Amino acid sequence: MFSRHDRIIGALYLVADALLALGSFWLAHWVRAHLVTPRPLYPAFYYLWIVPVTIGIWAGVGLALGIYREIREEELRRAWADPIKVGFVSTTLLFALVFAFRLEYISRLLLGFYAAIDLVLMVLLRLVTRRLSEPLRRTFGGFRHFLLVGSAPQALEIARTLEANERRGLRLLGFARVQPGGELEAQVKAASLRRSYPVYDLSQLPELLRRHVIDEVVFAVSKDELEKLEETFLRCEEEGVKARLLLSFFPHVLSKVHLERLRDMPLLTFSTTPENEDLLLLKRLGDFVMALVLLLVLSPLLLVLALLIKLTSKGPVFYRQARCGLGGRKFTLHKFRSMQPDADLRREELEALNELDGPVFKIRSDPRCTPVGRFMRKFSLDELPQLVNILKGEMSFVGPRPPLPEEVEKYEPWQRRRLRMPPGLTCLWALEGRSQLSFRRWMELDLQYIDNWSFTLDWKILLKTIPVVLLGRGAS
């Protein structure tokens, strides 16, 4: 698995195990307190100091044994072997600490319960995670699709590694040959991979990027072939597709070069989109929490708006539309219906009134809008159901607006890079005029956001968007 991804998963397991250690101790204290034994148990107050110590011991032993260095959910043996190793060593150290400092008031039975409960919970955590990781990732995160370029022997090894990590969301789309001929097809067929994969010509890459969801392109080529890939690298850079280069032909790796590793294989990574996966994970967690809180807080308002729509016009309360998300993935966007039910059918007759250039369609005073819909659109209230899209991970609070698939078909290559960031409710374009911007300026602002993304920028955009929305500036 990629080393950076392994560090994130390892950190999550470390935090989860620390929380389990904390919960296990208080559960063990409750069980021991309700047992009838000759020796009474001291109140919980006497044990407050030992809680951080035990958590530190469990976490420290786990780090020392390396169980968080590389999490392999596909190996069932590690689901119980790792907790047993940590539990045995940690329990031994804990008892040694109690005896060394002659802490006679600490119940040995309590410590025994604690060790047993924590061991069981650690095993259960890994079994549950192993069982649910794939459906959860399929529901909330989806797969990252890879295209392998080259016929170097390591290309097939990378393919096997990607297949082995499919439970973690990695999926191989196919291969692309640098040199013409059928050599690569024969190698792929002889490799005994789990499934058959198509082999494309490198000249087909632009069409593949347009027609398929490709998140990363991995180049496993010889030094001679590398010289022929300049245009391919530039194309990936232009569209914002992450490119990784296998460094098998380098005798030494320079310390200034930032590397990513797939198990023990070094890859040089090129990317024109945000790379800090730790911060991107925190962004996703923040989106989830904020969306959940807002849905609960705004539920009365959502109910009122739904009733107003239902009472003032015929048709459904919600409007659902296919949009393009991260990497061009299609998802269903939810909005409150602000137009007449036949609005989509009437678009063609209103095409001449379009006030924006480029492939987008917008009319300032759209005759298809209902009175309630016009009010909602002025203050962006029709966008509130998209909190559900954010909750599902299809959108973020801040990011490029999700385009229609037919709009994406008309994008120039450099404009497609905006698809490499999760779409959002607001972005820099919302601060510069919303519906009043030209299409080109809209695209430039989205790319400017991607190039300069940070947590600080997200919060600045969110805070500046609030007065813009409340005053209804630039909306149509």
**pLDDT band at residue 85, thresholds of 50, 70 and 90?**
very high
Q: What is the mean pLDDT of residues 317-343?
A: 91
Q: Lowest-pLDDT range, 182-196, 260-274, 410-424?
A: 260-274
Digit-coded pLDDT (tens) for 21-30:
889 988 988 8
Helix, strand, coil % in the chain, rounded to nearest 5: 55, 10, 30
Percent residues over pLDDT 90 in the chain? 43
The pLDDT-based confidence of 473 (bands split at 50, 70, 90) is low
| Of the candidates 195, 190, 139, the residue with the CA atom closest to the CA atom of residue 169 | 139
Of 238, 57, 249, 69, which is closest to residue 150 (Cα–Cα)? 249
Q: Please say if the pLDDT value at position 106 is more than 70.
A: yes
pLDDT (tens digit, 9 = 90+) per residue, 114-146? Answer: 899 999 999 999 999 888 877 776 666 678 999
Give the count of beta carbons closer than 10 Å to the beta carbon of residue 408.
19
Mean pLDDT is lowest, of 148-152, 248-252, 277-281, 395-399, for: 248-252
Written as one string, the DSSP assignment of 349-373 is GGGGG--S-TT----TT-TTB-HHH
Query: What pLDDT is recorded for position 255?
Result: 47
Q: What is the pLDDT confidence band of residue 396, given thresholds at 50, 70 and 90?
A: very high
Alpha helices in 34-167 (DSSP H): 50-65, 76-100, 108-136, 153-164
What residues form DSSP beta bridges with 76?
none
* pTM confidence score: 0.76
Integer Cα distance of 462 and 195 in angstroms = 45
Element (H, E) at 291: helix 277-297
pLDDT beyond 60 at 474: no
Strand partners, 262: 2, 265
Residue 469, pLDDT > 70, answer yes
Residue 225 has pLDDT above 60, yes or no: yes
Q: Is the pLDDT of residue 439 over 90?
A: no
> H or E element: which one contains 331?
strand 330-336
Q: Which residue has the higher pLDDT, 435 or 220?
A: 220
Q: Which one of 3.40.640.10, 3.40.50.720, 3.40.50.2300, 3.40.50.150 gives the CATH number of domain 142-272?
A: 3.40.50.720
pLDDT of residue 365 exceeding 80, the answer is: no
Percentage of the chain exceeding pLDDT 70: 90
- Give the total residue count for the chain: 476
β-pairing verdict for 265-270 and 396-398: unpaired
Burial group, residue 275, by CB count within 10 angstroms (0-12, 13-18, 19+): middle
Task: Identify which of 373, 221, 254 has the alpha carbon closest to the alpha carbon of residue 310.
Answer: 373
Confidence tier at 254 by pLDDT (50, 70, 90): very low
Tokens for 362? 């917008």
> Which two tokens mark 313?
């016009």
DSSP string, 423-453: -EEE-HHHHTTGGGS-HHHHHHHHHHHHHT-
Q: Is the pLDDT of residue 299 over 80?
A: yes
pLDDT in tens, 149-171: 988 788 899 999 999 888 888 89
Q: What is the mean pLDDT of residues 91-99?
A: 87
Q: What is the mean pLDDT of residues 58-66?
A: 89
Domain boundaries, the chain: 3-140, 142-272, 278-470
